[in-house]
A and B are shown apart, each in its own frame.
Chain A
Amino acid sequence: MIAPRRLLLIAGFSAALAGLALAQTATVAPPAASTPAAAGTRFITVSSTTSTQDSGLFGHILPLFQARTGIEVRVVSQGTGQALDTGRRGDADVVFVHAKAQEEKFLAEGFALERKPVMYNDFVLIGPKSDPAGVAGTKDIVAALKAIQEKSAPFVSRGDKSGTHSAELALWKIAGIDLDQKKGSWYRDIGQGMGAALNTAGGMGAYVLSDRGTWIAFKNRGDLTIAVEGDRRLFNQYGVMAVNPAKHPHVKVSDGQAFVNWLISPEGQKAIAEYKIDGQQLFFPNATQAGA
């Protein structure tokens, strides 16, 4: 009835129309989303972790940075592994994550020229109040993990290549537990963010390793409480890197670097230290600490 050629013509015409419409929306994109934060056209994209986002740190410091420099910061929060990949692909100008080994790999690959330590917080082992592994109130995270494994107490793992996940895997290693061998139904790898992991742990009375910031800001605690804290091995360092323009020429070098510089400046460090929930400081600036 209809020649395929005419069909093609119509398809092409429709596609062109759609392209036009899309281009149209592209030009009018920013205004409609005009919250105070999106008003400016000068912006950088930062890929960061769920912990910085979910804890509310960015909500506190980004307005301060924007007020100072006029640069809007658009944060895409993902697991650390994913956040670094976003930087690798050139989809972010700055990466701000917490997994030193992975960050150093990123550096070595040439995706950034330098890494700056910014701050730290610590991990805490969260568990149900009933404490089936009998570890509540102890300070030795390694011993606690061993107890959990021996008693097959339920444990929720992020399993998403995030900084927290890397830290958890490193701790199992220190404890001498080969997960591939010992992993059973007690070990629940959920492949999701920190908040989801806490929700899951709460739902099934499991232990879970969390960064303290997310835990303090977390609202659906239910039966969960801190089981183990204070071990030096639970130390959680954040680093920031501007993506190397040699790899991705389009990255906003100077604005990105401005953000990095501000974070490690006295002003930025002070802003980080001032962020508190319920009177508790969540992140401890340490940009000047050598080797952090």
Chain B
Amino acid sequence: MPRQRRPLDHPSRRDSFGSAPEDEGCASKLTQSGVGQVDFAAIFKAAFALVVGLDPGFLAIVGLSLRVTLSAVLIAGLIGLPLGAALALARFPGRSVVIVCLNALMGLPPVVAGLFVFLLLSRSGPLGPLGLLFTPTAMIAAQVILVLPIVIALTRQTVEDLWSEYRDHLRSVGLEGMRAIPTLLFDGRFALATALLAGFGRASAEVGAVLIVGGNIAGYTRTMTTTITLETSKGDLPLALGLGLVLIALTLAINAVAFGASRIGARYAG
């Protein structure tokens, strides 16, 4: 059915980005077709308009997504790298149980992590007085829980392999036990960068956890993935897919940079 739109009526975009768009958005009016007939030109056009238009609301969403995800990866790295290395070197009863659990946790559904943090941070929960629910901090916390098992498990694997190669020499020069960790983390840096990237991939792609603990509040806790969910639910599929393209492009760019850096570094380190 043909519909007419008045130029300024873009509830979806105004809503999604928390700021009113000034241009006659391309995405909104390109969508009169049904689910099966979404044309790809419209998707690319939507993605293109998002990037070129530099809508401040859109930039804020991208910025928030990156900030939340990178913070989560940073924190997970600070905790996970030493912990994973310690786990690689330590021998204690129940160690294999811990390792199996960590490997399993790598597949933890984001929604479950989200729910866990939600119950923790809810005003009625144990950490309620902090008032952190529906804030970016809560989203970071939830993503740390998602990323941490990946970082710990992959670090343990990397460090354990390296330790079996280095053990004799490190023990010979007196670096036993925990004193060996800095050397192993440093020499494993390229493999460990991959572990952090894997964590970044998981965090940047997930929507379940940030939706629950962030609340998808326009202009405050709305990330790229929750916007995609919202736009899908509003039926603006080209805009949703356009955002998806932007997200993929960002992830691609970050991976390419990391890959390039680690290639150069790995060539140097041999």
Interface residue ranges, A against B (CB under 8 Å) = 1-2, 4, 6-7, 10-11, 13-15, 17-18, 21-22, 25-26, 29-30, 32-38, 45, 50, 53-60, 63, 74-77, 88-91, 192-196, 198-199, 202-203, 217-223, 225, 248, 250, 276-279
Contacts and interface: CB of A to CB of B under 8 A. Distances in A.
Given A33-B60, A38-B219, 10 more contacts: A7-B92, A10-B178, A25-B137, A32-B64, A33-B63, A33-B219, A37-B219, A74-B220, A222-B36, A250-B129
B44 to A, nearest CB: 18
Contacts of A45: 134, 215, 217
Given A50-B233, A90-B128, A278-B4, A60 B217 contact: no
Contact of A37 (B9, B18, B78, B235): B18
Interface string B22-37: 0000001001111111
Contacts of B9: 276-278
Interface string B5-27: 11001011011011110000000
A275 to B, nearest CB: 8
B203 to A, nearest CB: 14
B251 interface: no
A75 B217 contact: yes
Contacts of A278: 3-6, 9
B208 interface: no
B71 interface: yes
Q: Is the interface of A mostly helix, strand, loop or mixed?
A: helix
22 contacts: A4-B92, A6-B178, A7-B92, A10-B83, A11-B83, A14-B78, A14-B82, A25-B71, A33-B67, A37-B219, A57-B11, A74-B220, A76-B215, A90-B128, A198-B235, A202-B35, A219-B12, A219-B235, A221-B32, A225-B1, A250-B129, A278-B4
Nearest to A36: B19
A278 B2 CA distance: 12
Nearest to A21: B75
Contacts of B219: 33, 35-38
Contacts of A91: 122-124, 133-134
A161 B220 CA distance: 26
Contacts of A77: 216
B218 interface: yes
B141 interface: yes
B11 A277 contact: yes
B136 interface: yes
B113 interface: no
B192 interface: no
Contact of B57 (A1, A35, A55, A90): A35
Contacts of B33: 222
B74 A21 contact: yes
B207 interface: no
For the complex of A and B, list the 8 residue pairs with the smallest distance between their C-beta atoms, beginning with the closest: A56-B11, A222-B34, A220-B235, A195-B233, A90-B123, A76-B215, A37-B219, A35-B219
